[in-house]
Amino acid sequence: MSKLHPCFVGICYNISNMQEKKIQLEDIVSFAKRRGFVYPGSDIYGGEAGLYDFGPNGVELLNNIKKAWWKANVYERDDFVGIDSAMFKHPRVWEASGHVGGFSDPLAECRNCHHRIRVDKELNILGVEADEKLNEEQINKLFDEHRDEIKCPVCGHKDFTAAKGFNLLVKSNLGDFTGEGKRPVYLPGEACQGIYLNFKNVVDTMPVKIPFGIAQIGKAFRNEISPRNFLFRTRELEQADTQYFVAPHKNKEAFEHIKQRRWDWYVNDLGIKQENLKWHQHENLVFYASDAWDIEYNYPSLGFDEVEGVHDRTDYDLTQHMKFSGVDLRYHDPVTNEKYIPWILETSMGMGRCFLAVLADAYTVETLPSGETRTVLKLKPELAPVKYAVSPLLKNKPELVEKAREVFMALKKKHGNVMWDDNGNIGKRYRRQDEIGTPYCVVIDFDTLEDDTVTIRDRDTTEQVREKITTLLAR
Ligand code: ATP
């Protein structure tokens, strides 16, 4: 590292004097579209509720989050393996899991405009503890007590039908050629069922011994009544799940470890600020669960809400699949010779909600000492969609462009997503890269042609250093 090129002096700011602005969800939504992170699904047709597409910068960030998750939950563990199961499954799977009979949200319809609301979520907005696990009688009792306070978000009337359970499974006709829907199959209501279905396969084919875990990232589909709040509630989603199989009653200590590990992942691996995270313990447990916690993130405009569930599920899942499939799913302990149905400790994270938390946490609007503002995405460098941006100082000087292309291609070969950026002046290029979180901008100037050094500008400090190209490529 050495002196700065004179061209760049004056573009470095005193970061400690900057002020940050409070961010709203709509800022993130418009930013995400404008900078190629997330587009509304089927945008050219006017969009489709609850569906989103990840753009070029978004898919890189998403993949980096997935890599960080896989690293922490598979590669850095000696008691975990990963799988990737088929999305479609035998229809009986969803009967065994309870989804055909009981995977429903409480829905009420506005008598005036026929808009439908999810009653538990409307009650939550009023500060009333309610969720989809309440039965119809319980939810309607709470609904009746608060009807005066719940307005239809479309027409403003307060005249709703009673709440009724609405099944969230999405049906399909894969492999059904009758045209009569006689054998409906379902898109996955949750990704984790693929893990339970493969428990026996993994035990039979891999060197695993209880306690051990299986990890998977998979898609899920839910007929959400009111998809809203951007990636927070969508109809197509992705879940990153771990299921840890333990001997009966050996759940408590392992559960505490798992909770701690998941918390640490958000803070250390994703760099999310601790003050934006909190634990929430479930008050209403499903009948088989022994404990359930959510990790909540403080989403802009929404406040704290669930990004991941950590559940102590006892032996319910494998017992159900054993009953419905008729296959013995008991584990044979090679040491004690006992046979038992393992208990399961689950972590289930919504990838879209995690992506939104990472984006919102990193999104910063700073007022510079000059009074100007800059938007900067303060992502951990490992998560940044673009690792380096490379520019020739002047794009009409072929010798600079040629040298810059050489550095660009060498960096690209090493780091993958490196961006060529020669549009506008250097200040504009830096701002553009700050906005998408590029940790370093590399500029090739006339000195480069003499001494093979380049300027490297740091996103967070805005400081610039000179470095030999060989040193840069060895980073
Ligand atoms: P909620 O109460 O918010 O509907 P849930 O408790 O039904 O969520 P789970 O079934 O435990 O959620 O799913 C695990 C994770 O999947 C959640 O923590 C969340 O991050 C994510 N998730 C669930 N439903 C959605 C959705 N409609 N859109 C986006 N992510 C979702």
Instruction: Supply the residue whose CA is at minimum distance from atom 1 of ligand 1.
Output: 306
Does 31 fall in a domain? no
Q: How confident is the model at residue 14 (pLDDT cuts 50, 70, 90)?
A: very low
Q: How many Cα atoms within 13 Å fall on the side-chain side of residue 315?
A: 14
| 114 lies in the same domain as 234 | no
Give the type of residue at 131: D
| 98 lies in the same domain as 149 | no
CATH number at residue 304: 3.30.930.10
Integer Cα distance of 321 and 329 in angstroms: 8
**Tens-digit pLDDT profile for residues 365-387:** 988 777 888 999 999 999 999 99
| 335 lies in the same domain as 414 | no
DSSP-derived secondary structure letter, 385: S
Question: Taking 90 as the threshold, does the pLDDT of residue 11 lie above it?
Answer: no
Region 260-275: mean pLDDT is 98
Beta-sheet pairing, 80-82 with 212-221: parallel
Does 380 fall in a domain? yes
Ligand 1 nearest-atom number relative to CA 305: 3
Question: Taking 70 as the threshold, does the pLDDT of residue 129 lie above it?
Answer: yes
| 189 lies in the same domain as 273 | yes
Are 163 and 145 within 8 A, CB to CB? Answer: no
Strand partners, 345: 244, 312
Instruction: Supply the residue whose CA is at minimum distance from atom 31 of ligand 1.
Output: 350
Picking from 166, 192, 214, the residue at the C-terminal end of a domain is 166
| 308 lies in the same domain as 436 | no
Q: What is the pLDDT of residue 157?
A: 94
| 81 lies in the same domain as 207 | yes
Integer Cα distance of 83 and 208 in angstroms: 14
Q: What is the pLDDT of residue 17?
A: 47
The residue segments making up the domain with residue 88 are 43-102+168-359
**Tens-digit pLDDT profile for residues 282-305:** 988 888 889 999 999 999 999 999
Does 181 fall in a domain? yes
Picking from 145, 166, 187, the residue at the C-terminal end of a domain is 166
Are 105 and 165 within 8 A, CB to CB? Answer: yes
User: Ligand 1: does its nearest atom lie under 6 Å from the Cβ of 50?
Assistant: no
| 211 lies in the same domain as 239 | yes
| 317 lies in the same domain as 249 | yes
Query: What is the residue-averaged pLDDT of the chain?
Result: 92
| 423 lies in the same domain as 456 | yes
Question: Which of the listed residues 99, 131, 226, 237 should we mutate to test ligand 1's pocket, taking the one with most ligand atoms within 8 A of CB?
Answer: 237
CATH number at residue 150: 2.20.28
Q: How confident is the model at residue 411 (pLDDT cuts 50, 70, 90)?
A: very high
